[in-house]
Amino acid sequence: MASANTLSYRHRAQRFNLQMSMRYRVSNGEWSESSTENISRSGVLFRAQEPVPANTQIELRVTMPWELTGAHAAEVLCRGRVVRVILPLSADSPLALAARIHDYRFVNNRDGTIT
């Protein structure tokens, strides 16, 4: 039996502090340009131009550099939801969104199709 002082442990995926160009959109809206702050296999923290409410479904397109893929740069389409909105601390600092990734697919760079 666990005591009241026992801390619960929740495993988090390893995060990589990588600043990569990306695009995001809500539903079938227009794509917005952005960049990542950090990324893991289960989520991403990125800069945003406008706030997006928590629990909103979102699509992300990230180009993974060859250093991560081991072969060549690959564009990945991710689907997920916003889990946190980080408001700027000052007028010159960016708004950020944290999104949990539910699934992803590689994009064929020749014709833009999803594989």
Quick check: is 8 in a domain? Answer: no
What range defines the domain where residue 99 resides? 21-107
Q: Total structural domains in the chain? A: 1
Instruction: Calculate the average pLDDT of the chain.
Output: 82
pLDDT tens-digit series, residues 27-57: 889 999 999 999 887 899 999 988 899 999 9
Structural domain includes residue 1: no
DSSP-assigned letters across all residues of 8-25? P----PPPB----EEEEE
d(CA 24, CA 30) in angstroms, rounded, equals 8
Residue 4 located in a structural domain: no
Domain annotation covers residue 13: no
User: pTM here?
Assistant: 0.76
Q: The domain that contains 65 carries what CATH number?
A: 2.40.10.220
